[in-house]
Amino acid sequence: MSEPSVTSRQSLRKSLRQARRALSADAQQRAAQALQQQLSEYLPSHTKQLAGYLASDGEISLLPTLSWCHQRGILTSLPVIHPFTGKHLLFQHFSHDTAMTRNRFNIEEPALDSTAIIELTAHDCLLMPLVGFDAKGNRLGMGGGFYDRTLAPLQQLRDGTPRPLLIGVAHDCQQVPVLPIEPWDIPLDVIITPTQCIEL
């Protein structure tokens, strides 16, 4: 990655994180409800297993969406930092009575339980928080590469092999005209915000 690209992505990441953190609690709640409505209309009817996340740092909340899933019998999972590599994510079953802990980034995640791990390819849909995105579907994450490393094996699957639908979610204020991209960026299938759905 070239130095200008590094600088550009870091600068964008800083300004976009500031923008989403600046949203009021009321604006965050309205956005979360609107996102839930968008997702309820978009998710495939056959969805039985969905991976989400618990919002932090101003990310758009999935709590209304996770509740909606539970009401309809859709199983959900949350990411857990891999205990051995520390650089990948595992996905663990999540329900209202799941024991929770905080990881090294102070983000809430399920307490590790090897019996509750859900294989990546067992998911029908995977919702990823974005820091930024553009109309072409290019995305900007937090910079740690956790999702890119975790999802990289999906790129090797042969046609017809089941794989989760990769859905990026964000506030509308996180959209930018153009994003610099890198070869290791895992492409999304769709980006959904409170007001739009960008199919890729």
User: For residue range 57-108, what is the model confidence (pLDDT) as tens digits?
Assistant: 999 999 999 999 999 999 999 999 998 887 899 999 999 999 999 999 999 9
Give the predicted TM-score (pTM) of the model: 0.92
Quote the crossing angle between the two packed helices 63-71 and 25-42, to the nearest 10°.
40
H or E stretch including 199?
strand 197-199
pLDDT (tens place) for every residue of the chain, 200 residues total? 444 466 688 899 999 999 999 999 999 999 999 999 999 999 999 999 999 999 999 999 999 999 999 999 999 999 999 988 878 999 999 999 999 999 999 999 999 999 999 999 999 999 999 999 999 989 998 888 899 999 999 888 777 778 999 999 999 999 999 887 777 788 899 999 999 999 98
CATH of the domain at 167: 3.40.50.10420
The pLDDT value recorded for residue 3 is: 45
User: For residue range 94-115, what is the model confidence (pLDDT) as tens digits?
Assistant: 999 999 999 999 999 999 999 9
Smallest CA-to-CA distance from 124 within 182, 200, 195, 69 is with 69
Query: Which residues are annotated binding-site positions?
Result: 9-13, 54, 59, 139-147
Domain count for the chain, please give it.
Answer: 1
Q: What is the mean pLDDT of the chain?
A: 92
Query: Which residues are annotated binding-site positions for ATP?
Result: 9-13, 139-147
- Quote the tokens at residue 18: 């500031």
Range of the domain at 65: 3-199
Burial class of residue 196 in the structure, from the number of CB atoms within 10 Å of its CB (0-12 exposed, 13-18 middle, 19+ buried): exposed
CA of residue 73 relative to chain centroid, distance? 21
Query: Which residues are annotated binding-site positions for substrate?
Result: 54, 59
The pLDDT value recorded for residue 8 is: 82
The pLDDT value recorded for residue 6 is: 65
Beta strand 75-81 with 89-94 is antiparallel
The pLDDT value recorded for residue 159 is: 72
The pLDDT value recorded for residue 60 is: 99
